[in-house]
Every structure is written in C-alpha cells, then in structure tokens.
Amino acid sequence: MFNINDRKNCIELKLNALVNNFQKVLYEDDTNFLLNMKSNNLAGDDISKYQFWEWTQGVGLFGLWKFFEKTKDIKYLDMLLKYYDERIETGLPSKNINTCAPMLTLSYLAEFTKNDLYFELCKEWAEWIMTELPKTKEGGFQHLTSDTLNEQELWDDTLVMAVLFLANYGRIVNNQSYMEEAKYQFMLHIKYLTDKKTGLWFHGWSFQGNHNFTNALWGRGNCWVTVAIPELLNMISCEASTHRFLLEAFKAQAKALKHYQEDTGMWHTLIDDKTSYVETSATCGFAYGILRAVHLGYLPESYHDCAYKALSPVLKYITDDGIVNQVSYGTAMGRESIQFYKNIEIKSMPYGQALAILFLLEILEDEKA
C-alpha cells in the first residue's frame, strides 16, 4: 500500500515514462492495419497517409495535449507541432470518422497557436462532417472508417473520434450549428446504444436490422462514453434540459461501472463477463472519466474511491520504460458472436498510453494525491 508521498512520486515517474515513450509508440507501424488497408482502402489513397493519422494516434495526441496543458512544458508542445506539421506536409488521408480523431487536438493547437493553416484544416474537416459524412436514419453520424462503410450504423466510438472535435471547434469559432449538432449526436447515440437494463452501452446499433448486433457491453467502447460526456459538458454550454439528459445517462453508466468493477480495481473487456480478460485501456478510461466527473461536480464524492481503486493495478501494468500492457487491439464491430471480443489480441497501442496519461493526470489533480 502506497503512502501519499510514495504514491505521488510513483505516479509522476510513470507519467514521465509514458510521455517520454509516447513519441516512439506514436510513430510505430501498425503492421496489421496497413496490411488490411492494401486491400480494403475505401478511398484508394496512398496508405502511407494513414500510417500515422488514424484514431489510434488521434486519441494518443489528445492525451499528450492534456499533458502539455497541465505542465506547460514547451517540449511537449514542440512534439505536437512537429507531428502535425509533418503530417500536413506529407498530405492527410481521406476523411472518415476515425481519421477525424487527430482533429480534436489540432483544434486545441489552432486555438493556442493562432495558426491560420490549422484553423483552415479544422474548418474543412468540420464542414465535411456536417455536409458530406454519410448519415444514418435520424441524421446520425454513420461510423464510416478507412476500410468499412458500416452503412446505417451508429458506434459508441464516434463520440470521441469525431463529435468532440466538432463541439470543440464550434466552441473555438463560436459556431452554434456545430455545437448543436454535437449535442444532438450525443443524445441520438444515447437513444440507440444505451442498455436500459444496466445503463451501460452497447457497441453499436444497426438501422438496417434494428438491433445492437451481439449486444456486447464492450469495455473500451463504454470508456469512450465515460470520457466523452464529462468532456462535452465541460467543453460547451448546454441548455438545462440537455445537460440534465446527458448527465443522467452518464450517472446511470457510472453506477453500473461501480457495480461491475472487479475487487482488483480492473474492468473486463466485456464488462459483465468475468470470463473475458481484464483490460487496461478501458479501465483507465473509466477511472479517468469517473474521477474527472467527481472533480467537475457531475458525480458525488462517493465515486472517488471507485476511480482510486483502479490506480494500483494500472500502475503495475505500466512498465518502467513507459509501455502500457494488457491493452486490447483495435476492435471492429462484433457482428456474429460475443466471443469475437474475447479473441481480440493484447497489444501496446497509443490509445493505451493516452488513457493512462489522462487517468494519472487526473489523479494528480486531486489534492489527496
């Protein structure tokens, strides 16, 4: 058991290791993804453009941005600027839900640096989301990816990958239509993805078959929601009724997460299935979102211990050289069997790094740390 000072020192050491290792992880080739893109690239782009610009990097960049925002250390800002300037120079890939993910951090950088090119790109991608992204029935954002149309499908991933960017850029440039669309997407996804029995979220919904596929209560998919709702509520102003609607959905999920958390502090990759493996990225996302919500006043203090319960096992899964272990690889929709989620391989990924960074940063925000 850590005392407070030892715990804080350990967290700071792990955080520094995570961030120092981040650039290596960010620029690693995802061999499986690139191999798939050779035959399944919907846009016909040069696949090298996707090599370092996908949702995996996008989530990771958000974690690095938050680290810079907290520390104000210029070397991390320089790391971000170098990354974006290189990607812009070589050319960005075609637009889809997942390639929108790096735009969230770019919107923050545009606001911080006042770089006109960054603003122009943010506007271009936001307009594409509004006018050209395929929409489902009821105007939902179809979860179009680099290799799959996913026609008439809503996925919980979409909220972090594309909707938060639209909301944040709308806030920055005071575009009410962007912010209203973001709020609508959150509410529509709540309507079709929430499991009314538990308050957790299904991975996806099909308007073609009117079903939630295998009814998977998938861990990392749920953690995107735990991250996204407090971020949105803190990012833009919502009228009282919308704020209440989003917050009640979040509270229902948090209550279920508290119930399903293992005694060890971890969550399973299928939250309600103890035969599935425990998974670090989801655990970090849940603990971060819950603790952030406590700090923002969205959850009562009684949830504080739920988040802290995850700290010790998460620290054990972070190596001294800053690798996050026990992270599930990128996961498509489980369409045939729940076993699909149990079979996803475990692999160190940038989003694992990012979610661990977010969680540990939020722990350090707490005066008890």
- Specify whether the backbone of 278 is left (phi greater than 0), alpha (psi in -120 to 50) or beta: beta
User: What is the average per-residue pLDDT within 316-341?
Assistant: 95
Find the domain containing 256 and state its range. 4-365
Structure tokens that stand for 12 in this block: 């700071």
1: pLDDT confidence band, cut at 50, 70 and 90? very low
Q: Are residues 363 and 291 in contact, defined by beta-carbon separation less than 8 angstroms? A: yes
2: pLDDT confidence band, cut at 50, 70 and 90? low
Q: How would DSSP label each residue in 160-223?
A: IIIIHHHHHHHHHHT-HHHHHHHHHHHHHHHHHHB-TTTS-B-SEEETTTTB-TT---BHHHHH
**Predicted confidence (pLDDT) at residue 37 exceeds the cutoff of 90:** no
What is the residue type of 129? I
**Predicted confidence (pLDDT) at residue 190 exceeds the cutoff of 90:** yes
Residues 219-249: tens digit of each pLDDT: 999 999 999 999 999 999 999 999 999 999 9
CATH number at residue 232: 1.50.10.10
Residues 86-143: tens digit of each pLDDT: 999 999 999 999 999 999 999 999 999 999 999 999 999 999 999 999 999 999 999 9
User: What is the average per-residue pLDDT within 161-189?
Assistant: 98
**Predicted confidence (pLDDT) at residue 368 exceeds the cutoff of 60:** no
The count of domains in the chain is 1
Phi then psi for 202, rounded to 5 degrees? -75, 155
Q: Are residues 37 and 147 in contact, defined by beta-carbon separation less than 8 angstroms? A: yes
CA dihedral 284, 286, 290, 295 (to 10 degrees): 30
Q: What is residue 34's predicted lDDT score, i.e. its pLDDT? A: 62
